[in-house]
A and B are shown apart, each in its own frame.
Chain A
Amino acid sequence: MGIKSPLITLMPNKTFFWFFLPTGLAMILFIGLPIISTGIQSFYAQHDQVVKEVKKCDPFGCTVSIVVDQEKTSKIREEKPLGKFNGFGTYVDRNHLAIEEIGKFWNETNSFGEFVDQVTNLPFYKALIFTLTYCLFVTPNVLLLGFIIALSLNAVTRRIRGPLIFGTILPMIVTPLVGSLVLFWMIDAEGIIGANLQMLMDDPYLSLKSSKTLTWITIIIYGIWHHSPFAFVVFYAALQTVPQEPVEAAIIDGASRWQRVRHIVLPHIYPVVTFVALISLMDNFRVFEPIIGFSAEGSAQSLSWLIYDNLVNEEVILFGSAAATSMMTIVGIAILLAPVLIRTWKEFRTAR
């Protein structure tokens, strides 16, 4: 039972190869090569800056100060345009894995709690914790909510189903940035949600945006709101393929609604659930837009935000840092997906 991928059951390997070739080539060109290039970049740092003292004058007066010596620097740059080989230097520095700092904290702190405090104060781990928390709360809730909506809509009379479906997938249609901005203004201390919460809690200083916990909760709720329609659409399509005979037989046998869902529907659409979980995990691990939309940089940083920060927030672009974080994000996604992928692979093997 269950939906089997037509590719696996119907297509011989040779046909599959030719079928996949154009996509494969495009993937190598547009995904594979950039990843390799990013990987190489992550092992390099900038050359040592040659600076010199010069006189600088502006409308406010003259001072003696330093500038980068372009003559000498450009010579070094021409010889080695990639920069200085740094190995895993960027990966282990304080702004990334911070191996040295963690060792120091371990030796210096008195209790485990203090140690954890120190480690989570490091930018990479701070971002990692938010990213994982977001994944952990958003993914299961998206699956659950999407499934419930799909079930309910499937039970609604056909006449009003169309408009209802449209309404349900609206959160996905709305651009993430716009969606988060709308909510951002609503939770403002003077917005409709923010002001009412203050009244409700009788606390004029309550602000959803200034408290770290409340900001996290807001972003997570936004994430669930935004991603549920995707799960819903896929589940809804899958529900259309559930065979009616066993369901009717179960009804005759006196199975309750819950029993029917638990023993007939869920096993049938199980592969689709795995698929949605996979995609959802991948998407959520790269959470980024809501942080910008909610101006939540102060309270919530994700791995993707760290990359963005390295590339644009400084006036100096940190290519090495951004590349290292990118590579670690890819590794992170791979680790997260590993259990699901291994399971799918095993099923694939037994199916053959």
Chain B
Amino acid sequence: MRETNMKKILISLLFLLFGTSVYADCNIKSGSINILANDFPALRTFVETAKGCKGNADFKVTHSSEHNKIAVPALTANPSEFSARIAANSSIVPLMNQDLIRPLDDLVKKYGKGIQDSQLITIDGKIMAVAFMANTQHLYYREDVLKELGIAIPKTYEEVVAASEKIRASGKMQYPYAAAYKAGWNLAEEFVNMYIGHGGEFFKAGTAQPSINNAKGVATLNMLKKLAGLSNPDYLTHDSEAIKVEWESGNVALMTLWASRSGTLLDDDGDAKITAATKLTGPATVAGGNIPAATLWWDGFTLAKNRSDADAEATFRALAHAAANKKMVADAADQAVWLIEGFKPGPKSIGVIEAVKMKAKPYPMLPQMGLMHGALGSEIVEFLQGKESAEQALKDVEAAYMSKAKEQGFL
């Protein structure tokens, strides 16, 4: 089942499919549309496309990088502030836990013309979201620097470490590696990636009991620390935006960053020499593993439950128009890896396509995963600062997680 699906994605990602464009019916007569979304170029394009089809409906949108903090309270209100929320693997979970989003089966049947089956996120047989783009974190490298020093493009994190050490030794760059290690969500995400790359499992099978305090967890932490040692010493304050700036200033030669940010790295802004030498490759593996130390993400739209059926219908029709829009996909081919029919992957999609080929795992969509992510973000900091052992840090993560999970009723 998994195999065939993988093939399906690959086919849809790799080949341009011919055929007449099918546009969603855009004859929206009334209703009110209000969308909450993260803030990066592809999502702006997507929402703009949906706006083009709003008809007589009211149309509002909030793009915010703080979307995670707003979503649950805003959708809990009745009527909900937003009629739709652009979510991802992780952010759909709290909405599901609190029962804040509605099944889309009837709407997909009625207005979902052009949406491919592979775009549908189904949980327990019900369509809960419609995905439109894929994302992952993968390696970026400076072709000129690697070539000059005779370094091959790294395929594993061990090679990333060796390459970075070589660059540092050459005196070209002091902190040749960068990744978003900002304490909190970002750092935890790096742990999740690296731990999955080591083949680790976060919970004891079928339970909410944590199981990260093991050899794989220790190896994960040690690798993160090695990489942190090759990064700017302020790494604990660097998020994706900060390392993007580091890259554009020419301070970094190897970087792990979101695929969705490649557009802003490769645009005309900034030093043309750096932009020309910026190249993308798949995510790295670690510790001899086969699957990459990265997680696959989808971005898709969900509809608020606490909102009138009329609003839901109007919102769905506008968003479905964008989620099946071949013109948008063709015009904005370099902004994202679209999961929409007609997408022809360009050079900026290499990272995600490689990740899919290498059978990267999706970010775990588990009800208690958010608590684990939160515990990781604060408890592994002291290990990276050299203040405690890896075992102690992992023990702390498990203990912090368990207290939270007990309070939330998972344990």
Chain A residues within 8 Å of B, Cβ to Cβ:
45-49, 51-52, 54-62, 65-68, 70, 73-74, 84, 86, 90, 93-95, 101, 121, 123, 188-189, 204-207, 209-210, 212, 294-299, 301, 309, 312-318, 320-321
Contacts and interface: CB of A to CB of B under 8 A. Distances in A.
B404 A314 contact: yes
B137 interface: no
Contact of B99 (A52, A74, A209, A297): A74
Nearest to B374: A314
A52 B124 CA distance: 10
A88 to B, nearest CB: 13
B124 A55 contact: yes
19 contacts: A45-B409, A49-B367, A49-B408, A57-B121, A59-B9, A59-B121, A62-B5, A93-B407, A94-B403, A121-B392, A123-B400, A297-B378, A298-B187, A298-B378, A309-B374, A312-B69, A313-B184, A315-B72, A318-B408
A61 B123 contact: no
A18 to B, nearest CB: 39
Contact of A65 (B182, B235, B356, B365): B365
Nearest to A298: B183
A94 B400 contact: yes
Contacts of A47: 409
B148 to A, nearest CB: 22
Contacts of A65: 364-366
B125 interface: yes
A-B pairs with lowest CB-CB distance, top 4: A298-B183, A207-B233, A315-B370, A54-B124
Nearest to A209: B234
Contacts of B366: 65-66
B330 interface: no
Interface in B363-405: 364-367, 370-371, 373-374, 377-378, 381-382, 385, 387-388, 392, 396, 399-400, 402-404
A210 B94 CA distance: 32
A93 B403 contact: yes
Interface in B218-235: 232-235
Given A51-B367, A315-B90, A59 B236 contact: no
B362 to A, nearest CB: 5
Contacts of A209: 233-234, 236-237
A242 to B, nearest CB: 46
B120 interface: yes
Contacts of A188: 234
Contacts of A320: 407
Contact of B365 (A56, A74, A296): A56
A65 B365 CA distance: 8
A59 B134 contact: yes
Interface string B109-125: 00000000011111111
A316 B124 contact: no
B339 interface: yes
Interface of B: 1-2, 5-6, 9, 68-69, 72-73, 89-91, 93-94, 96-97, 99, 118-125, 131, 134, 174, 182-185, 187, 206, 232-237, 296, 298, 339, 356, 362, 364-367, 370-371, 373-374, 377-378, 381-382, 385, 387-388, 392, 396, 399-400, 402-404, 406-410
Contacts of B339: 59
Given A67-B123, A68-B367, A70-B99, A316 B94 contact: yes
Nearest to B9: A59
B299 to A, nearest CB: 10
Contacts of B97: 49, 68, 316
B249 to A, nearest CB: 8
Given A49-B410, A84-B409, A295-B182, A315 B9 contact: no
Nearest to B72: A317
Given A94-B403, A209-B236, A315-B90, A46 B134 contact: no
Contacts of A212: 385, 387
A121 B9 CA distance: 46
A56 B123 contact: yes
Contacts of B407: 45-46, 86, 90, 93, 318, 320-321
Contacts of B124: 52, 54-56, 67
Nearest to A314: B374
Given A55-B123, A189-B232, A301-B378, 20 more contacts: A45-B407, A45-B409, A49-B408, A54-B125, A56-B365, A59-B134, A60-B9, A61-B5, A68-B96, A68-B99, A121-B382, A123-B400, A189-B234, A206-B233, A297-B378, A298-B187, A298-B385, A314-B373, A315-B72, A315-B93
Nearest to A69: B124
B131 A58 contact: yes
Contacts of B404: 95, 314, 316, 318, 321
A95 B89 contact: no
Contact of A57 (B90, B120, B400): B120
